[in-house]
Chain A
Amino acid sequence: MLKIKNLEAGYGKIRVLKRISLHVNPGEIVTLIGANGAGKTTLLAAITGLIRATAGEILLKGDNLERLKPEGIVFRGCSLVPEGRQVFATMNVRENLVLGAYVQHRQGKRQLQEGIEYIYDLFPVLRERRHQLAGTLSGGEQQMLAMGRALMAKPALLMLDEPSTGLAPLIVKNIFQIITRLREAGNTVLLIEQNAKAALRVADRGYVLETGKIILEGSSEDLLTNRDVQRAYLGRDVKEN
């Protein structure tokens, strides 16, 4: 689905991503874990076209994305749920979802309504709040709305940037359950998370990003038991000799 080879990108003279190669197979949940400043969000910015890659290749279903504008990339089937949700606060829930379907604007009213109903089934709380302004929702509800809005585009690849940030633990658990359900519904997900343990529990595979480089790749199971990952990201107390 997504294939990245030797990607380099940054801001001005600062090279944040040094040489990133990764891939996401169809139907997979892949997580990218790493500390603050490792380059996770920069990577998403490069994939979505918000910044230009200075070297390397980004392929979505075999098509190069590096030269496309952000809207072109969305039309190719790549949707982002940004960090901090970024819902349209002064619009109601339904309107937010309709906007998410922008790339599907050629579809008829009936399909649009079906899409919205599908999102309501996935997140029943959004149906209850459908006439409420997005800005008045709780953090967890806003996260669900942001995910629902991205799904309205029927993306081939859904990218989630730190969906657990700033949410209460119980809500976080709920969000990760929803991510698992997304896979069951056949979605392909690239999940960026600081909460490495939770992310690895829902993902099939993972990559560890450190100072702009991928230092480890493996099945989630393997990464969870890797001692380096445990020490650096899972907060496991390992006695030093």
Chain B
Amino acid sequence: MLRFLTRRSIGALFTLLIIAVVTFFMFFAVPGDPARLSCGKVCPPESLVLARHNLGLDHPIFVQFVQWLAGIFVGRDYPTLGHCPAPCLGYSFVNKEPVFAAIVDRLPVTISLTIGSAIIFLVFGVGTGVIAGLRQGKPLDKIASVSSLIGASVQIYFIGTLAVYFLVFQWHVVERPRYVPFTENPLEWAYGLLIPWIVLAVIFTANYTRMTRSTMVEQLSEDFVRTARAKGMSNRTVVLRFALRGTLIPIVTIFGIDLATLIGGAIITETTFSLQGIGRLSIAAVVDSDLPMLMATVVLAAAAIVVFNVIVDALYAVIDPRVRLT
């Protein structure tokens, strides 16, 4: 296990490095000069040169990349802006603060969105999936199948906006989605994110219901389930200890992907509900040509995907003893 994790972590880091290199070099051509942005509207040529120097933009791009990379591990000193402490992903001129600080500031919103909805869709998705799998062809199974089909086909910006329209503006059931830090007031926190959670859950649950149901059906016809039944185990034990365990493998796979997508910047979700998380941060970075910020959000999103991939692969071995990690 340890060997597997080490090997995969090195591979993951390598993947991230390549993504960082590709992004860095591609966005070098982004319109808008970061130096000009930092310099302000009226910018005499000599201050522009100075600003460019302060940002290290007068170095060759390769050197710039090495500086950026080194900054993540040892921090970085900007001649005029001062020190940017250790995980330094650059300095955002639009926000006038180190990129890392802005991300730390926004990350709780995205994580709250992710965790809340993940709990709902995991519980409901797997629950309905198991029940539908056990009651094949019964009304409950049909309802689950149909609703999962609809859930898988709706767009978040459509039903999200509809939900806000009816729940907030027509029926006045809840207030507009907003973010209150959990540490400040847990109840307000949950209340403010209720609509986004439910909408995300509606969309994601579908996938889990479908997946759980079809795997459950498959698992129930497996030999080990038959053996367990033959040994006289109760239906409950057979389902929970044997069939469900096998069902977990595909669930863990899609759960890893979904979590990564959600944390890596739920751009559409956050735009739909006007929540100021990482997704909005990245969009703002695009609009403002805030290169260091954009770079950081792309790498962060990629990191989420890569890390969850490793975790998922490791979990396979935990769930299914037949899986050998290599």
Asked if A and B are interacting partners, one says no
A residues near B (Cβ < 8 Å) are: none
B residues near A (Cβ < 8 Å) are: none
